[in-house]
Amino acid sequence: MSEASNPSRTAPTPASSGAPAVSVPRTLAGQKALVTGANSGIGRAVAIALGQAGADVVVNYVVGDDAAQSVVEEVRRGGVRAFAHQADVSSEEQVEAMFARACTELGTLDILVNNAGLQRDAPFATMTLAQWNTVIGINLTGQFLCARAAIREFLRRGVVPSVSCAAGKIICMSSVHQEIPWAGHPNYASSKGGIKMMMESLAQEVAPHHIRVNSIAPGAIRTPINTAAWNTPQAYTRLMTLVPYGRIGEPEDIARAAVWLASDQSDYVVGTTLFVDGGMTLYPGFATGG
C-alpha cells in the first residue's frame, strides 16, 4: 500500500522527553506489537521506536514495574496505545496468558519482537546446571514459546492488506555470538546459535503464509547487560579493539533496524540475520595480521 492511501502513515510524532520534534515516518500505523524484555536496554528502545512509527505496543517485562510503566508512558507519546504485561517468557502458561490478553485488548497482533534475554556467565568447568538452564530457558525456549503464540495468531488472521503486506512479522533478537564463539559464556552463545537455526527453520516453514521471520544480531550495545565492557575508559578502549567502526552501539541503532524489519519497507526480507555490530563480525584482528 502506498503512503498516500493512508494519511495516518505520515502523521508527525510528538517530541519525547525534551528531544527536538522530529517527524518519524508512520510506517507501522495501525499495527499491534509485542516486545519482550521491553523495560530496559534494547527492548525499551525498540518499544519506543515502534510506538513512534505508529504501532500499539505491549511492553513485556518480568521484574521492575516502575521501569515498565515509564516505557509505556514514553511509547504513548507516539499517540498510540500501550500497556505493560508481566510475564516470564520461559513459562508456557504465562506466555499463553500474555498473548491472550494482547489479542483481547488490541484485537490482534502483527509484530513480535522476541527480545528478552540474559547472561549467566561462568567458565565451562564451573558452570552450574541452573546457569545453563536459566539462559537456555529464557533466551531460546522463551523465543520459541512467544514465536509459537504469535504464529498461531498470524495464521488465524492472515494478511490484512490495509495494515501490512505480510500476515505477521517476527524479529528475533540474536547476537554476534550466534557466529562468534565466546569463552566463559557457553550457555549464552549456545542460546544465540540456537536462535539462528530456530529463526531460519521457522522462516522457511511460514514464508508461504506470508509471515516474515528475521533476526537482528547486535554487537556491543550500551545496555545494562554488558556495563563492565564499557563503563570505564580502560574497558571502553579494550572494547574498541573489537569494533572497527570505533564506537559502541546505542539501543536506538537496534531500534531503527527493528522498525525497518517490522515494516513493509523490508517486505522481501525473509529468514535473514541483520548484523548491527559496527563491524564486530569482520574479524578485526585480521585488519593488520594474518
Query: Which residues contact ligand BGC (rule: CB under 6 A)?
Result: 119, 175-177, 219-220, 225-226, 229
Catalytic residue, chosen from 61, 188, 236, 283, is: 188
Shortest separation between residue 202's beta carbon and ligand BGC, angstroms: 21
| DSSP bridge partners of 82 | 57
CB 142 within 8 A of CB 116: yes
Shortest separation between residue 166's beta carbon and ligand BGC, angstroms: 27
Q: Provide the grid cell at 198.
A: 530456530
Q: Provide the grid cell at 143.
A: 523465543
Q: Provide the grid cell at 28.
A: 507501522
Q: Closest by alpha carbon to 164, among 210, 228, 225?
A: 210
Q: Which is nearer to ligand BGC, 115 or 119 (CB)?
A: 119
Q: Which is nearer to ligand BGC, 168 or 249 (CB)?
A: 249
Q: Which residues of 9-42 are buried (b: 16+ CB within 10 A; e: fewer)?
A: beeebeebeeeeeeebbbbbbbbbbbbbbbbbbb
3-state secondary structure of 267: coil
188 assigned to active site: yes
256 sits in which H/E element: helix 251-262
Shortest separation between residue 192's beta carbon and ligand BGC, angstroms: 7
Shortest separation between residue 68's beta carbon and ligand BGC, angstroms: 21
Q: Which is nearer to ligand BGC, 104 or 237 (CB)?
A: 237
Q: Which is nearer to ligand BGC, 80 or 239 (CB)?
A: 239
Catalytically annotated residues? 188
